[in-house]
Amino acid sequence: MGKVTRLADSFWQRSLRNSARCTGISLHGGVAVSLAIHPAAPDSGILFRRTDVPSDVGDIPAHCDYIGATELCTTLVNEHGIRVATVEHLMAALAGCEIDNAVIELNGPEIPIMDGSAEPFVTLIEQAGIVEQDFPRRMIRVLRPVTVREGDSVASLEPYDGFSITLDIDFNSGAIGRQGLSLDVSCSAFKTDICRARTFGFLHEVQAMVKAGFARGGSLDNAVVVDGDKVVNEGGLRYTDEFVRHKVLDCIGDMYLAGGPLLGKFRGVKSGHAMHHKLLRALFDQESAWTTVSGDRPAGMSAPTWDARAVAASA
């Protein structure tokens, strides 16, 4: 296993200090969902746990091997057919806060949409508190370029000492048009520039989705709605380029399904959940394109302590 010196805000794996809970409406199902995020031991990763199904079939690792659908959102499905949909905003919050290990319990098949951004989940994580663990972060380093294409959509990864995203979108609407953003992803950049950007859709598409049985929980409280060349929401946008910022948010969440932080440069043009999944599969299908590395303890830095009893007591 190779080693790197400092390519993230934290050298150490991180988890939650305590558990935290929230409730909300699922975007597509339109039903109330209760969600709890709990601490987890080092090297256990992110795990989704359905509490409304038998305990022996309800666990779903947050990994691209378990991606089952990418239409409208990212859905994870385990070997028993148990699924958790719309994971991307929560995964983005976990990535942006550099949480390596956590158990997310929920009593339904879809993560609550909250306000359509990752900010409520960042707040939930901060309420729980963050602890460093006496284990180095495990990261996936991109060793050579990998590219996937479909029509005029392109997504690629190339070597980079860190994680950066360059993304371009183009919509036939005066409210959106062409937008681009380049970002070196860090905790501070995510919280300042990305996490408040909300999901969005066109009014006619939302109406069609509702007729098809989707977006039953969608409203102006949890999405930016565009009608022609106008934003319908009374409060307008949170950022002048909120649309591309939310696409970056989605990308951060999808890329965290690599199973750990990526060390690479992502470039996307009109990319979405399906392209992100294809890109991760293309990366891992080529053994020479990636390797696993770990953070190294800097000289003179003492290791933090990890109290498993405290985790057991708080979960």
**pLDDT for residue 314:** 41
Work out the angle at residue 186's Cα, subtended by the Cα atoms of residues 261 and 137, and round it to the nearest 5 degrees.
Answer: 35
Question: What is the residue extent of each domain of the chain?
Answer: 2-314
Whole-model pTM above 0.85?
A: yes
Q: What is the pLDDT of residues 243-274, one digit of tens each?
A: 999 999 999 999 999 999 999 999 999 999 99
Chain position carrying tokens 């890109």: 279
Rg (CA), the chain: 19
Q: Rounded CA gap, 92 and 87, in Å?
A: 9
Q: What is the pLDDT of residues 21-34, one digit of tens each?
A: 999 999 878 899 99
Query: 153-184 b/e with 16+ CB inside 10 Å = b?
Result: ebbbbbebebbbbebbbebeeebbeebebebe
Question: Residue 202: beta bridge partners?
Answer: 226
Q: What is the mean pLDDT of residues 285-307?
A: 68
Give 130-187 as a DSSP string: EEEEEEEPEEEEE-S-EEEEETTEEEEEE--SSEEEEEEEE-SSTTT-EEEEEEE--H
Cα–Cα nearest to 145, from 288, 1, 292: 288
**What digits encode the pLDDT tens for the residues 272-285?**
999 999 999 999 99
Indicate if the pLDDT at residue 37 is higher than 60.
yes
Catalytic residue among 89, 246, 273, 277: 273
What does the pLDDT average to over 287-291?
97
pLDDT at 208: 74
Q: Domain 2-314, what fold?
A: lpxc deacetylase, domain 1 (3.30.1700)
Q: Is residue 63 among the annotated active site residues?
A: no
Q: Please check the confidence at residue 313 and state whether its pLDDT lies above 70.
A: no
pLDDT at 101: 98
**Looking at residues 296-302, what average pLDDT do you find?**
47
pLDDT tens-digit profile of 156-193? 999 999 999 999 999 999 999 999 999 999 999 999 99
Whether 9 contacts 141, CB under 8 Å: no
CA–CA separation, 108 and 37 (whole Å): 14
- With 50 as the cut, is the pLDDT of residue 290 above it? yes
Give the contacts of 223 (CB within 8 A, at least 6 positions apart): 27, 113, 116, 198, 199, 200, 201, 206
pLDDT one-digit tens code per residue, 132-162: 998 999 999 999 999 999 999 999 999 999 9
Is the pLDDT score of 303 beyond 80? no
Instruction: Provide φ and ψ at 215, rounded to 5°.
Output: 55, 35
Residue 71 pLDDT level (bands cut at 50, 70, 90): confident
What pLDDT shows up at residue 204?
Answer: 83
Strand ordering across the sheet containing 32-39: 20-25, 32-39, 102-106, 46-50, 59-61
Give per-residue pLDDT as tens, 180-232: 999 999 999 999 999 999 999 998 887 777 677 766 778 889 999 999 999 99
Across residues 92-120, what is the average pLDDT?
A: 97
